[in-house]
Amino acid sequence: MTDVVNNGALKGIRVVEMGQLIAGPFCGQLLGDMGAEIIKIEPPEMGDPMRNWGHGDEKLWWEVVSRNKKSVTANLRVPEGQEIVRKLVAHADILIENFKPGTLEKWGLSPETLHAINPGLIIVRVSGYGQSGPYSSRAGFGGIGEAMGGWRYIVGDPDRAPSRMGVSIGDSLAATYGCMGALAALHARQTTGKGQVVDSALYEAVLQVMESIVPEYMISGHIRKRTGSILEGVSPSNVYPCSDGEYLIGANQDGIFARLAKAMGQPELAQNPRYATHVARANNLRELDEIIAEWTRTLTVDQLEALMIEHSIPAGKIYRAAEMLEDPHFAARDALVEVDSPRWGKFKMQNAFPRLSDTPSSIRTTAPTEIGQHNAEVFGDLLGMNDDEIAGLKAQGAI
């Protein structure tokens, strides 16, 4: 990956990433994709647990979340390791951490201490409940934030317990909001010259995407419930059976539904008072779904897709990784990019998004293979330590 030039919007921005697992590291991944230099601090010997996370026979999550990063080691529980952080932040623009609130303070790395060293430092703090409030000291993972933020209650089938997505959406949302806050703080620093703290709570990141569930309850007493594969009040919008698989159709707008009715050879459905309007279709959702499903069962997925394209109806196949790798649209837009890992060889992963026309994000380096792979580079070149100093820190167990 060394032949990929860094033209990213954040080129020249240096980030120290202290977080582990998902929320902190994903924030670092986003900033790194946009061109920032990411110096990731890992515990000596053990490393970030993400190195051993993933599904299948080989654990590859690390390869995605730690791309574009440099790995250094520091034992943050000893004074010598904490001093390394103080030295690093003197040269940094952003610090990311997702420890339990109070941990930085316990280590002598409070925002006040760090801002005394570098007044322009932006400190992104990702936690379960935020840095204040009666729950702030509680441990919190993404699933807890999803539950408290309202997500879990509405996901799944109505006759079963709340379900979850197959990805860690709470962590990813909190990381994304942390990244967004860091970018806003960078802009503010241009005017004020000062850094600030970005406080991203897991439950609040989830709450932010929960649309109007709170006002709906306050004004009308309505509580959204689990509705399985449908969305209450939106019809037709569902996965429908075909003779050889399943297919997603979203034709809930009046004009689009009229086109779907025509594609079905049943244009009269769009004039039927039970289905003619958005509200009417919502009131007769299951009945309409059965009519559509009866038709889609007579078609293959490819036949149905051809009709949806012909009639300009939002619809699509349900993809797994295999379909993504074969799809010409993914290929044309380089949605998946090939990397060459020292450990795994060549394989593909998702590219850097969103796309910026003049300062494109990119994957420039693969994830660090070794724990502390960049100790000599960062501690020597950036912090000015000589070989004896680095060796002494290693002997003390500080790195």
Q: Which amino acid makes up residue 53?
A: W
Say how many CA atoms lie within 13 Å of 231 toward its Cβ.
Answer: 11
Q: Taking a C-beta distance cutoff of 8 angstroms, is the pair 21, 48 a contact? A: yes
- Where b means 16+ CB within 10 Å and e means fewer, 178-188 reads bbebbbebbee
Q: How many residues does the chain have?
A: 399
- Residue tagged active-site, from 171, 327, 334, 358: 171
Q: Taking a C-beta distance cutoff of 8 angstroms, is the pair 399, 44 a contact? A: yes
Euclidean distance between CA atoms 144 and 147, whole angstroms: 5
The H or E element that residue 70 is part of is: strand 69-73
Euclidean distance between CA atoms 360 and 356, whole angstroms: 5
Can you say how many angstroms the Cα of residue 47 is from the centroid of all Cα atoms in its chain?
A: 22
Can you say how many angstroms the Cα of residue 194 is from the centroid of all Cα atoms in its chain?
A: 28
Residue 398, judged by CB atoms within 10 A of its CB (0-12, 13-18, 19+), counts as buried
Q: Is 171 known to be catalytic? A: yes
- Tell me 340's DSSP state: E
Q: How far is CA 98 from CA 22, 128, 300, in A?
A: 9, 9, 48
State the chain's maximal CA–CA distance in angstroms: 83
Euclidean distance between CA atoms 263 and 271, whole angstroms: 15
The H or E element that residue 315 is part of is: strand 315-317
Sequence-distant (≥ 6) Cβ neighbours of residue 152 within 8 angstroms: 143, 146, 162, 163, 164
* Coil/strand/helix, residue 121: coil
Structure tokens at 274: 């039970």
Q: Taking a C-beta distance cutoff of 8 angstroms, is the pair 227, 219 a contact? A: no
Sequence-distant (≥ 6) Cβ neighbours of residue 131 within 8 angstroms: 101, 125, 197, 199
* Coil/strand/helix, residue 149: coil
* Coil/strand/helix, residue 350: strand
> Which residues are marked as active site?
171
